[in-house]
Amino acid sequence: MATSNLSTGVPLLKSDSTRAADCLASCRTVSAAFGPQAKSRGMCLQSKLITLVRCLRISEQREVPSDNDSLDTDQDVSNSTFEPQSNGFPLSRMKLMTKFGRKTKIVCTIGPSTSSREMIWKLAETGMNVARLNMSHGDHFSHQKTIDLVKEYNAQFKDKVIAIMLDTKGPEVRSGDVPKPIVLKEGQEFNFTIKRGVSTKDTVSVNYDDFVNDVEVGDILLVDGGMMSLAVKSKTDDTVKCVVIDGGELKSRRHLNVRGKSATLPSITDKDWEDIRFGVDNQVDFYAVSFVKDARVVHELKDYLRSCNADIRVIVKIESADSIPNLQSILSASDGAMVARGDLGAELPIEEVPLLQEDIIRRCHSMQKPVIVATNMLESMIDHPTPTRAEVSDIAISVREGADAVMLSGETAHGKYPLKAVKVMHTVALRTEYSRPINSTTPNQLIVGKVCIIYSDGSRDVWEICLLFTPPLWPTP
């Protein structure tokens, strides 16, 4: 079975990468790796192209760049506020790090702040590898415009391909549209109604007709991933009456969870099928399927894609408590996973989320499938030009744990500083990747994973380059 390149969508045969991994991991000499004719390291360098194995990093490109080209498509980080400092970090290694680029991919959600041609070009130049279309917002017309612009960019820059990910809305409950944010204050009475088009200072619509039946008196409603919470006090035939526990600003189409419960909605809704067909027509690279509860959803979608002869990879979003008991089978059926921490943190105790993130990454590693870490990575940069220290640490931890990609949502969709957010994520990921300790006891032991191609200019020892750009994430047993 083929897996896919997060940056280009290029199919990569897992069997080929596994054979390459087994070969290189067991090699102790140059001749063992490159054949008896390669009796010296100098002869190895003559080949220019050295195929290495790097843990769960997908960097294969359609075209071979020239000797002077960087392996990655990202720009130099020299103009970034967050440029890695040379103090305690060898300058020569930092220069090589910048040249060969970042391996962790960046997924950017396209929205009002970034939907123009100019902004998509700038996002790509700053470090975007995947453009995400959030089908919970916007319509097919606006998303079609984004797809056309990304494809125009890809046609113009064939060596810097941006993949397209369509993120389904899924079986979720959302509040209705409001003309302006409604301020909820602690102790205030506030209502949710199944009547359509209601938006007042104390009542707003929801998009789910069985909402009243699914909630009970005493339930806790979590709004916008737990940013606000309300206690259910009573209900009528069409309205749920609540008291605000934790206040905030309620904006249009915010996600609603009932703590400890899931809505009785179909796994793939009618709207999802419309969006999936839209993705097939436009030949997107990935589907991110929301609120996957079991593997049947994945099999159903893959059967449909096969019937359409569509080469689209299925990324499952782990974001509901119902998915946890079926996690292994869901991941096995999928082509990759996304740790969607927002809704996951609303349905589970928040202290469980970091542990679950690490567990999902580890499971994906064992299956050699890519994994994306998403939600709240640079949330403060929606409104502020610099990140918090905790956000920087969050990105670094995700990279060190082995995430193949990290994702920006509101930061690039409707934030004030989308380009700065991408630049911060790029620089933190880049610096973190090359700070991992090298396992000196087994210098040629490379972790089995996807194939990564490194080009040698002949000026450095081949195995020094191996160690520099292919360090284990952690000591191998």
Q: Which residues are catalytic?
A: 132, 174, 317, 375
Structure tokens of 305?
């894609």
DSSP code string of 365-404: HHHT--EEEESSSSGGGGT-SS--HHHHHHHHHHHHHT-S
Q: How far is CA 113 from the centre of its chain?
A: 19
Residue with tokens 């191998």: 476
- Whole-angstrom CA distances from 17 to 49, 86, 137, 226 are 15, 35, 38, 41
- Asked if residue 315 lies in contact with residue 364, where contact means CB atoms within 8 angstroms, the answer is no
Specify the 3-state DSSP secondary structure of 234. Answer: strand
Q: Strands, E, within 206-335: which ranges? A: 220-223, 228-235, 239-246, 248-250, 255-258, 286-289, 313-318
Q: What angle do CA 25, 29, 33 make, to 5 degrees?
A: 55
At position 140, the amino acid (one-letter code) is H
Residue 404 phi/psi, 5° resolution?
-80, -25
Contact residues for 23 (Cβ-Cβ < 8 A; gap 6+): 33
- Asked if residue 375 lies in contact with residue 342, where contact means CB atoms within 8 angstroms, the answer is yes
Half-sphere exposure of residue 230: CA atoms within 13 angstroms, side-chain side: 29
Angle between helices 353-367 and 389-401 (to 10 degrees): 30
Element (H, E) at 95: helix 91-100
- Asked if residue 301 lies in contact with residue 294, where contact means CB atoms within 8 angstroms, the answer is no
- Tell me how far apart the alpha carbons of residues 71 and 64 are, in angstroms, rounded to a whole number: 9
Q: How far is CA 125 from the centre of its chain?
A: 18
Q: For residue 96, with 0-12 CB atoms within 10 Å meaning exposed, 13-18 middle and 19 or more buried, which class applies?
A: middle
Q: For residue 318, which of 300, 345, 296 has the smallest C-alpha distance?
A: 345
